[in-house]
Amino acid sequence: MEAKLYILGSGILKEELETKIIELNLSGSVQLLGHMENIRNFLSLMDYFIFPSLYEGQGMALLEAMSVGLLPIVSDIPTSREIVAGGNYGIISESNDEQGLALAMMKALKKEEFSSFDLESYNQNVINRIKLIL
């Protein structure tokens, strides 16, 4: 099976990633795309969304990916765990390291069934929680 990895966004690891891609001879399989203004159309062409973040305030990129129907593979952090409803909408890595992420990706390839993410319901739930706080 041939796979492509597209890394979106930018940050302090860009040079390290570029070096690693060249070092491992992955230029044909891994592309750093940088920041994209409107990613919905691009995301809709993908099969999975890998979100290995170790800290997130809201996880907007994750929500965008799920809103176009992508199966998310996420690190086990509170924000991601909440958004994927404890694994109901996607796969949570058992450990936040390379091995855990690799195992989660292998699980995704088994094509297990997950519930469809309902963005409208998610948004309404967030609004209701904010109203309770206020």
Compute mean pLDDT per 10 residues along the chain, 134 residues long, and list them: 85 93 95 88 91 87 92 94 92 92 91 85 90 90
Burial class (CB in 10 A: 0-12, 13-18, 19+), 57: exposed
Question: Can you give the pLDDT at residue 72?
Answer: 95
Give residue 1's pLDDT: 58
Task: Give the CATH fold of the 36-133 domain.
Answer: Rossmann fold (3.40.50)
- Distance between CA atoms of residues 108 and 100, nearest Å: 13
Output the pLDDT for position 58: 82
Q: What local confidence, expressed as pLDDT, does residue 10 receive?
A: 84
pLDDT at 19: 96
Cα dihedral 117→121→127→129 (10° resolution):
-80
The pLDDT of residue 55? 87
C-alpha 101/C-alpha 61 separation (Å) is 18
